[in-house]
Amino acid sequence: MTFSKRSLLPVVCLVLLSLLGCKKEAQDASAPSGKAQAKTTIGVTLLTVQHAFYQDLRTGLQEEADKHGYELLISTGEFDSTRQANQIDEFIVQRVSAIVVSPCDSRSVGASIVQANEAGIPVFTADIASTSKRGKVVSHIASDNRAGGRQAAELLAKALDGTGKVVILSHPEVASVTDRVEGFKERLKDHPGIEIVAELSTQGKRDKAVKVMEDLLQSHPDLTGVFGINDDSALGALAAIEAAGKLGKIKIVGYDATPEARAKIETGAIYGDVIQTPKLIGQLTINAIHGFLNNKPPPSVIPVAVGAYTKESD
């Protein structure tokens, strides 16, 4: 039985289509399917990486992300809310799986969170919360800063034997600092012999803390205590106090318990610090994202316990 070339053409086409179909099915069976199979990428924008606290926070984020095979895109606002907003815009364009923000400004960050929400990208805040009424944050992971403020007040009250005039070196644009200051003031009410004579912003920066403290020493020569809302503020205050020849006459309490601050506590230059665990905050943040991406929504707030560090702690 013979076939013409014309009659064989449909058969050949059917065979080729069948083979191609089988090949495609084999590829589809072996290829990742859906969003769950794609590389999970997390955009992170931190307040700064100049502080030891945020360096440790970054380490915690990276270590935990590595465990899950997540890719981190880490940037820093360096106290500039506009720069941070641009970074979040870039994460949205890149279609990351989630965004982590440590806001430079707790109020203005809401606009960027709204944009991420509209793009369907979940947002998490680490260390610093958003206080904006705009935008939805899945979970906020941070130290219990109100409790930390209360501990700072107790440390300073003990250092001053319950009496004296103190100042607060603050950073009011940041929600975590606002909580610390509120906790500090709340607990200080239990020590009526201690008066808060000034509360000024240092923006959490050491060089600014030096200048602010120099002015405070001039305007309040009878000052006996300082609460620095982070260690850079406390160390900046210490530099000004040393330069004024008042070391030991003014008690300082800081916040973070970084290695540099602990060394000053050991020498007695700083009385004490509130201890934070930034690596743990970073780890818990990634765990919260991991749960969310696997249909296990985390709590809206994940508080991390704080402690106190003095010369007697060791």
Q: Give the number of domains in the chain.
A: 2
Are 256 and 289 in the same domain? no
Confidence (pLDDT) at 38 = 73
**What does the pLDDT read at residue 31?**
35
Q: Is residue 313 part of a domain?
A: no
Looking at every residue in the chain, the average pLDDT score rounds to: 90
Query: Would you state the pLDDT for residue 39?
Result: 86
- Mind listing the pLDDT tens digit for each residue in 167-201? 999 999 999 999 999 999 999 999 999 999 999 99
Q: Three-state DSSP class for 214?
A: helix
237: containing domain: 145-275
Confidence of residue 23 (pLDDT cuts 50, 70, 90): very low
N-term to C-term CA, the chain: 99
Q: Stretch 231-239: mean pLDDT, rounded?
A: 97
Residue 20 has pLDDT above 50, yes or no: no
Does the CA dihedral 310-312-313-314 come out positive or negative? positive
Same-domain pairing of 154 and 136: no
In this structure, the answer to whether residues 42 and 186 fall within a common structural domain is no
Instruction: For residues 107 and 254, state if they share a domain.
Output: no
Q: Let me know whether 95 and 123 are in one domain.
A: yes
Global confidence as pTM: 0.82
pLDDT at 25: 37
Write down the pLDDT at residue 231: 96
Q: How would you label 238-276 residue by residue, b for 16+ Cβ within 10 Å and e otherwise?
A: bebbeeeeeeeebbbbbbbbbebbbebbeeebbbbbbbb
Same domain, 186 and 166: yes
3 has a pLDDT exceeding 70: no
Q: Are residues 66 and 156 in the same domain?
A: no
22 within domain boundaries: no
Instruction: Please indicate, yes or no, whether residues 265 and 285 belong to a single structural domain of this protein.
Output: no
Residue 222, pLDDT above cutoff 70: yes
**Could you tell me if 151 and 106 lie in one domain?**
no
Please indicate, yes or no, whether residues 44 and 128 belong to a single structural domain of this protein.
yes
Instruction: Dump pLDDT digits (tens) for 73-112.
Output: 999 999 999 999 999 999 999 999 999 999 999 999 999 9
Considering the domain architecture, whether residues 109 and 193 belong to the same structural domain is answered as no
In a domain, 184, yes or no: yes
pLDDT digits (tens, 9 = 90+) for 241-280: 999 999 999 999 999 999 999 999 999 999 999 999 999 9
More confident position, 203 or 10: 203
Q: What is the pLDDT of residue 34?
A: 38
In this predicted structure, what is the pLDDT of residue 117? 98
Residue 130 in contact with residue 103, Cβ under 8 Å? Answer: yes
Q: Is residue 12 part of a domain?
A: no
Rounded to whole angstroms, the Cα distance separating 54 from 304 reads 15
Signed CA dihedral, 227, 233, 238, 243: sign only: negative
Identify the bridge partners of residue 168 per DSSP, sorted by sequence position: 199, 227
Same domain, 88 and 168: no
Task: Quote the percentage of the chain above a pLDDT of 70.
Answer: 88
The answer to whether residue 31 is domain-embedded is no
Q: pLDDT digit string (tens) for 284-309? A: 999 999 999 999 999 999 999 999 99
210 inside domain: yes
In a domain, 208, yes or no: yes
Separation CA 260–CA 83 (nearest Å):
29
Using 50, 70 and 90 to split pLDDT, how confident is the model at 46?
Answer: very high
In the predicted model, what is the mean pLDDT of residues 31-38?
Answer: 43
pLDDT single digits (tens) 107-127: 999 999 999 999 999 999 999
Can you give the pLDDT at residue 233? 97
CATH number of the structural domain spanning residue 103: 3.40.50.2300
